[in-house]
Structures are given as C-alpha cells and as structure tokens.
Amino acid sequence: MSNTTNQQWGGRFSEATDEFVARFTASVDFDQRLYRQDIQGSIAHAKMLTKVGVLTAEECEAIIKGLGEIQADIESGQFEWSVALEDVHMNIEAALTKKIGITGKKLHTGRSRNDQVATDIRLYMRDEVDFILTEIARLQQGLLELSERNADTIMPGFTHLQTAQPVTFGHHLLAWFEMLSRDYERFVDCRKRINIMPLGAAALAGTTYPIDRTYTADLLSFSAPANNSLDAVSDRDFGIEFCAASSLLLMHLTRMSEELVLWTSSQFNFINLPDRFCTGSSIMPQKKNPDVPELVRGKSGRVYGHLMSLLTLMKSQPLAYNKDNQEDKEPLFDTVDTVRGCLRAFADMVPAIEARKEEMREAARRGFSTATDLADYLVRAGVAFRDAHEIVGLSVAYGIKTNKDLSDMTLEELQQFSDQIQEDVFEVLTLEGSVSARNHIGGTAPDQVRAAVVRGRELLARRG
Ligand code: ARG
C-alpha cells in the first residue's frame, strides 16, 4: 500500500503518502470500535437517498445486503482492517465496493466523512449513556437494599473526620444514593444533546441533493437533524459534557471508595467486604486489601484527564471540521470503559457489604457523639444555647478526665454542671434516642431512613 495513493481521495495527488504519515494520520486502529454505528448510519443514509430518488431500490438493497455481510465479517473476525484506508469509514466503504461493485461507490453521495463520523460517535455515545444509566440505577438499587438492612444501625457521623453526632448507617448510604441521582440526571440531560443528527451537513455546507434529513433522523431515532451544517460537523460539546458528567460520577465514587477503604481498616473496622472483592499481599500473609475501591479512586484521574483533553482539543478550533477532532475518540472510549468498569465493580460490591454493627455502635458511643443532644436538652429546659454549649463542654472535659461517656455518668455527676439536668436526660443521651429524635424529612431517624428507601424505590420505578 505504501506506494499507492489512497483509493478514496488519491485523485489529485501525484505521490504516495509517506508511510509514517499514513500511519500517523490513520485512526482505524481505534475507530473500528464504531463499525456498528457506521453501518447503521450508512443504511439509513442509503434508504433516504432511495426515498428521494438518488438511488434505485435495487441499489439500496445491494448496499444494505453488502453492509450486512461486512458486519458479519467484522463480528466473526474475518474482516481485514487496513491502515492505508485510514479509518473505519473508508475501510467499510472500500469493502462494500469490493463486494457489490460500482453501486458501493454511490453510497457516499450527499455525505462526507465529516457528518458521518459525527453521526457515528453520537450513535455510539447514545447507546453507552443508556447502558451507564442502567448501571447507575443498579448501584442505586443495591444502596437501597443495604440502607434498608441498616435503617437502625448506628454509627458515628463525622465532620473533619472527627466523631460528630450519631447517625444511622442507612442514612449515610442514602447520601450516596442522592449523589448518584444527580449523576443520573446529568447523563439523561447530556443524552438530549447527544441525540441530534449531523447527517446532511456533508463536509460543512450541506449538499446539493434533495435530501430528507427528517426521514434519516427518524430512521436513526435521533430527536432532530442538527440546525446548522457548520456546527453539526464541528460540535463535540456532547463529548465534553459526557466527560464532565463522568468526572462528577467518578468523583462521587472516589468519595465512597475512600470511606470504604477507611471503614475496612482495623482502625475503623466498621464493615467487611467479602473476600471476592479484595486481594492479598504477596509478602504480608495477614493482609486483605480493599483493592476495588482503591482502584476506582485511582481511575478518577484518567476521566478528569480526558475532560481536560477534550476541552483543550476544542479550544480555539475554527469552524468547521478539523482533523484535530479525530483525537476525540480515544478519550471518549477510555472514559466509557472506565465508567462502565467502575460502575460494574460498585454495583456488584455494594449489596455485599456487611456492616459490623457492634463496632460501629461502640465507635459512636466513644466519641461523645450525643453532646449536641445534651445541649439541645438544656435549651429545651430554658438555658440559652451558648450557655448550654459551655455546660456541655465542661461535662465532656470531665468525661475525658474520668474516661466516661456522657451516658455513663450519674445524674449527680451531670448536675455538677447544671441543675437543669434531670433524670429524663438519659433518654436523649442514648444513641438510639439521639438518632430517632432527628425525625424529619432528610433526617437520620430510622423511620426517616425507611421512608426515604420507599421514596427511592418509587424514583427508580418511575424511571422505568
Ligand atoms: N477519521 C476522521 C475522524 O475521526 C474522519 C473524518 C475525516 N474527515 C476528513 N475530512 N479528513 O475525525
């Protein structure tokens, strides 16, 4: 191939492409991933050309049959991809012509690789977003199950990673559920702008054939043809949006990962991750490492990087198509693979998390986590909040000195700090009393957790 010019565009060239340049500019090694969408787009284009009288019905039939055979060849590993043919589009078109002769050469009428590639990526992204949405929902489903099982499980809630107030583990998990609901909405929103059809823009200015873009858009289930041909071939906003939504999702997964890593450590010892999600150490026989959450935490870097790559790729690009845009694919593909992998790992792992309820409870008991409850108790008895804060501060200092939690002190000991404290104080100093008192929408009370799980299930059901 090195001494011939490209069959599809070689007409005006007097020497062959430099061998290195041919390899350097080719994208077939990675864009062959788009073969299904390329064939799908070509079939719709051929049908539309037939409808408007540019192709005959027999030609259309031959094209569809040929493309079907090519798809089968690709899927059975018999297709020979050629770097000399540059990209997936020209490889498939050349193979079609080889199969069906001159009719194959008519497929590209009224079309350019510029609108073709933009269409292919959008079709591909649309499918991937749909899959990602189902995986987010599967993970959310798992979180609801685990929350329900742990609606009454008490753990310390943290601020500054210091014990703050007791919360229920179910409530903590539902915070993750909320993050994922926002991610879900972002992908749904991103899909709207993916689902616009570039075909018909041709190279940049549209085409002189009497095309019916609405018909092609319908065939491909796009919501509408793109409004402006120049924008249609050059827009990659949807890819950037996809990477932005993916970055936020990964950021959330890193937060969850971080907590899982902390909680599995012997210092916390809050949860057990089943062995199948962990690995061992080749030197330290006692180790069981939370590799899955650690790796997810690490993989966020790639996705953030791809967002930055695509923003930089598009920065300052003049209209319309530029070869720069060929560089959109690898970041997008790797983002898709990373997001799919991380979601799968999480969706499989989360329902299998086992809470160590006793350890969680003990940790909540240890950290004076009901101190705010004592302050609120004093306020209800008529003490101003700042004074109550001071009284509780002194009680905590006494507890540290005597190694006693507030709930372990006698009434007399507590009354040293305020004579407003009465026997009923012990109801608010218990962990159960503390969490069930926060009984409002969005609060940590077990009843609220159960109600939120019901609402979560309704939300998932409404999405269909
Ligand atoms: N492989 C190219 C890409 O991915 C296809 C479009 C090429 N268009 C062109 N005029 N060279 O962007």
- Indicate if ligand 1 lies below 6 Å from the C-beta of 113: yes
CATH topology for 366-453 is Ribonucleotide Reductase Protein R1; domain 1 (1.10.40)
Low-confidence residues in the chain, pLDDT < 70: 1-5, 7
Give CA–CA dist 390/337, Å, rounded. 54
* pLDDT the model gives residue 4: 57
Pocket test for ligand 1, best of 35, 113, 119 (most atoms within 8 A of CB): 113
Exposure letters 7-17 (e unless 16+ CB within 10 A, then b): ebeeeeeeebb
Which residue in 2, 223, 265, 281 is the catalytic one? 281
CATH of domain 20-109: 1.10.275.10
Nearest to 373 by CA among 441, 332, 423, 433: 433
Q: Which two tokens stand for residue 312?
A: 């930089």
Q: For residue 339, how far is its CA from the centre of ligand 1 (angstroms)?
A: 26
Give CA–CA dist 429/373, Å, rounded. 7
Give CA–CA dist 54/274, Å, rounded. 62
Nearest to 296 by CA among 139, 141, 155: 139
Q: Which two tokens stand for residue 395?
A: 């009680």
**Structure confidence by residue, pLDDT tens digits, 238-250:** 999 999 999 999 9
Nearest to 157 by CA among 149, 148, 166: 166
- Indicate if ligand 1 lies below 6 Å from the C-beta of 87: yes
- Indicate if ligand 1 lies below 6 Å from the C-beta of 323: yes
**Could you tell me if residue 10 is left (phi over 0), alpha (psi between -120 and 50 degrees) or otherwise beta?**
alpha
Determine contact, residues 61/107, Cβ cutoff 8 Å.
no
Q: Which two tokens stand for residue 170?
A: 């179910």
Determine contact, residues 185/129, Cβ cutoff 8 Å.
no
* pLDDT the model gives residue 3: 44
Task: Determine how many CB atoms are found less than 10 A away from the CB of residue 94.
Answer: 19
* pLDDT the model gives residue 24: 97
- Indicate if ligand 1 lies below 6 Å from the C-beta of 325: yes
* pLDDT the model gives residue 284: 82
Nearest CA to ligand 1 atom 11: 323
- Indicate if ligand 1 lies below 6 Å from the C-beta of 44: no
H-helix segments, 76-112? 88-100
**Structure confidence by residue, pLDDT tens digits, 118-128:** 999 999 999 99
DSSP H or E run through 247: helix 237-264
Cβ contacts of residue 7 below 8 Å, gap of 6+? Answer: 85, 94
Domain residue ranges of the chain, discontinuous segments joined by +: 20-109, 114-361, 366-453
Identify the burial level of 150 via C-beta atoms within 10 angstroms of its C-beta, where 0-12 means exposed, 13-18 middle and 19 or more buried. Answer: buried
Nearest CA to ligand 1 atom 4: 326
User: Facing residues of 163 across strands?
Assistant: 158
Cis previous bond, 397, omega within 30: no
**Which atom of ligand 1 lies closest to the CA of 87?**
1
CATH 3.50.50.60 fits 114-361, yes or no: no
Determine contact, residues 382/420, Cβ cutoff 8 Å.
yes
Length of the chain: 464
Q: For residue 89, how far is its CA from the centre of ligand 1 (angstroms)?
A: 9
Nearest CA to ligand 1 atom 12: 326
Which residue in 160, 266, 282, 440 is the catalytic one? 160
Give CA–CA dist 127/187, Å, rounded. 12
Q: Which two tokens stand for residue 194?
A: 């993916």
Q: For residue 114, how far is its CA from the centre of ligand 1 (angstroms)?
A: 6
Rg of the Cα atoms in the chain: 31
SS3 assignment, position 416 = coil
- Indicate if ligand 1 lies below 6 Å from the C-beta of 168: no
Q: Which two tokens stand for residue 220?
A: 């491909």
Q: Which two tokens stand for residue 420?
A: 């407003």
Please state, in angstroms and as integers, the Cα–Cα distance from residue 208 to each residue in 73, 109, 111, 290, 345, following that order.
34, 10, 10, 60, 50
* pLDDT the model gives residue 39: 98
- Indicate if ligand 1 lies below 6 Å from the C-beta of 116: no
